[in-house]
Amino acid sequence: MIGGISVERKLQRKKEDKKGRAWIELDYKNLEHNLKEIERVIPQETKVMAVVKANAYGHGAVPISKALNQYGIEHFAVATLREALELRRKKIKGEILILGYTPVGDRELIIQYDLTQTIVDYEYAKALNQGEGCIKVHVKIDTGMHRLGEACEQVELLKKIYACPKLLVRGTYTHLCVADSRKKADIEFTNNQIERFRQVIDTLQKKGVDTGELHIQSSYGILNYPELSCGYVRAGIALYGALSSKKDKTKIKLDLKPVLTLKSRIEMVREIKKGETLGYGRNFTATQDMKVGAVSIGYCDGIPRNLSLENQEVIIHGKKTNIVGNICMDQLSVDLTAIEEAKQGDEVILIGEYGKEKVSVEEMAERSKTISNEILSRIGERVIRVS
């Protein structure tokens, strides 16, 4: 029989089969360690809201959130309603805040699944204030990012938001847009954002408004402005043990350890002769007789195509070697000339470490001219999350 449950069962018969062609392994000890590191530097009264949007930055939102629940985390943030629903269906406990806009037509689902919606402006508050039942919300205030949030100058509109009878306001927050920078002008801008937030909160509270728990910082807010005392910090990338960029300097340093290892397999090994080309576009030419391997992971799985010909490294049998030729949708090729023992089925580490050798997500991001957040969150759906 093809399809259905019987195939799934057969596929998952053994742990080894379960991994398939490309998979990630999670190091829960490191996740717990990173959480402790964050908790060590924030004020005692401040709690960590774990940002698990985009499938927990590619790690797998359900296993990561389940583990975090066990480590005592009771607040989560996601980007979309679907992400929130998945967590709730898989029995994740605590507050789940949707950071983005949810169409008003889905209001009932938010209430039914006990989710918390971000109020992005006054118009949206008015719309969500219609209908059956009350809806839990956090109010977002714009202090300079100019993405979501009611403008901090609009005190009257903000007051009206808090006065909506069907909105149960549990928190109020803002988002910093240059908290990662140590440039003087950027620090000034950030301090200004923080000050604007403080002032509008102060004004509202003096008028008797209950603003709920406050939160400002994401990972770089924690690393560069650790002294702020709020209800929560919204920790994303730091929780996963990475910085956005390798070269980032931060006010405080945390001992962050990567949670994710990305692996694949050698599908086949072959010899190519000096002068022969390899792959699409024929843009790699062997400068000597070579042994090469096809590896079963490609750009659909999150290895950026622009890493082709950039000497991006992988680890095989504890040895580093390079990706060669153009990265394809489902596969890429590696140089196996110096790795005698490499054979079909062997593991390839794309992100991770083995012994002394390491390929970090920060390195991969730098070579592909982006940030770790993008590399991790774009690890594809076909990559199996082994938990």
Ligand X SMILES: *Cc1c(COP(=O)(O)O)cnc(C)c1O
Return residues touching ligand X (CB under 6 A): 51, 53, 99, 175, 218-220, 234-238, 373
Phi first, then psi: give them for residue 126, nearest 5 degrees. -60, -45
Contact 167, 128 (CB under 8 A): yes
Q: Which of 249, 251, 274, 280 is catalytic?
A: 280
Strand partners of residue 50: 76, 235
**How far is Cα of residue 92 from the mean position of the Cα atoms in its chain?**
18
Spatial CA neighbour of 105 closest among 78, 83, 85, 124: 124
* Residue whose CB is less far from ligand X, 330 or 374: 374
Nearest in space to 367 (alpha carbons), one of 270, 189, 247, 279 = 247
Q: Let me know if 291 is a catalytic residue.
A: no
Query: Using an 8 Å Cβ cutoff, are 232 and 74 in contact?
Result: no
Minimum distance of ligand X from residue 122's CB (angstroms): 19
- At residue 166, φ and ψ (nearest 5 deg) are -95, 5
Distance of CA 224 to the CA centre of its chain: 19
Q: How far is the CB of 110 from ligand X (least distance, A)?
A: 18
Which candidate in 53, 136, 140, 263 is catalytic?
A: 53
CB of 339 to ligand X, least distance (A): 36
Closest approach, Cβ 223 to ligand X, in A, equals 9
Residue 146: other Cβ atoms inside 10 A: 9
Q: How many alpha carbons lie under 13 Å from residue 83 in its C-beta half-sphere?
A: 25
User: Cα separation of 359 and 316, whole Å?
Assistant: 11
Burial zone of 65 (CB within 10 Å; 0-12 exposed, 13-18 middle, 19+ buried): buried
- Tokens 């023992």 map to which residue? 341
Given phi > 0 = left and psi -120 to 50 = alpha, else beta, which region is 279?
A: left
Residue nearer to ligand X on the CB measure, 175 or 385: 175
Q: Which one, 172 or 373, has the nearer CB to ligand X?
A: 373
Burial 23-35 (b: 16+ CB within 10 A, else e): bbbbbbebbbbbb
Active-site residue flag, 257:
no
CB of 63 within 8 A of CB of 246? no
Rounded to a whole number of angstroms, the minimum distance from the CB of residue 177 to ligand X is 10
Minimum distance, C-beta of residue 92 to ligand X, in the bound complex (Å) = 18
Q: What's the closest the beta carbon of residue 296 comes to ligand X, in angstroms?
A: 29
User: Which alpha helices (H) appear in 71-225, and where do they start and end?
Assistant: 81-89, 107-112, 122-128, 155-163, 184-206, 219-224
Minimum gap (Å) between residue 111 Cβ and ligand X: 22
Helices 61-70 and 28-41, interaxial angle, to 10°?
A: 60
For residue 277, which amino acid is it?
Answer: T
List C-alpha distances in Å: 379 to 10, 351, 384. Answer: 25, 11, 10
Nearer to ligand X, 56 or 383 (CB): 56
Q: What are phi and psi of 352, to 5 degrees?
A: 145, -170
* Closer of 151 and 309 to ligand X (Cβ): 151
Residues marked as catalytic? 53, 280
